[in-house]
Structure 1
Amino acid sequence: MAGLYTLLLAAFVYRSLTWKILGNVLVATAKTTGVVMLVVAAAGILGWALARERIPGAVADFALGAVSNPTAILLMLILMLLVLGTFMETLSALAITAPIIVGIGSGAGIDPLLLGLVTVLSLSIGMICPCPSA
């Protein structure tokens, strides 16, 4: 709805939108959408392969065997997600790590809502942090 409002505003109020600009914007939008859908599809395939090999369960067992305190597990996840968010795009990192994080969180008895909020916020904060190589 906001996109349609902006389109109408640019076309009729500011008179800065031409057919050529609109075509370029639509092509750029299609390219970006295609890239995002490709990342989501690849993450889905990777998630299926991880689940088939039972890797999330093995990682959860390892993490729960190393640390039994739910607060310490949550802090480990936050640190891992901050580093991961620094180097990866948020959506792809979330799609790849979600099955593993859910397994660890459910095994540790962490509330799924809290786990989801912490995961998304940690990846987002990691994304806005500057990369050390930059």
Structure 2
Amino acid sequence: MPNLPASHKLRTGRYAEPNRIYLLTTITLDRAPIFADFALGRLVVHQFRRAQDIGLANSLAWVVMPDHFHWLIELENCSLRKLMRQTKSLITREVNLSSRRSGPLWQQGYHDRALRREEDLVTLARYVVANPLRAGLVEKLGNYPLWDAIWV
């Protein structure tokens, strides 16, 4: 395999299937803890809901961490590339407007993992939303405000 930059390696072999379940992760530029500000983190949540409302993806579980998010989705009527490009772009615009900042917010690319049919979705959703516990941000999940799962 050629020696590609990390963002290009993320795209190598990427294929998106409608109705398939994916775990998506993306990180802020230089891992800046932008979403430690709850109001800015809510802007991410708003874009997750928007993507669902317009039929791009069903949100199954998500967590917004200070410097990244994990989003478990069922892909609907678009590609992963379109979903993430729109979501990251709209979050950047809203965060920049709300915080009077400018410039890029995200590292290039994103990580995606297609789930196999036999994988336990509830177990994976629990893993996703438990990120704040593992990171030591809270002692109880209920104390962290930026997560949700359809099973809860």
Q: Would you say same fold, with TM above 0.5?
A: no
Indicate the structure (1 or 2) with the bigger Cα radius of gyration. 1
Of Structure 1 and Structure 2, which has the larger fraction of its residues in strand?
Answer: 2
Higher RCO (Cα < 8 Å, 6 or more apart): 2
TM-score (norm 1): 0.29
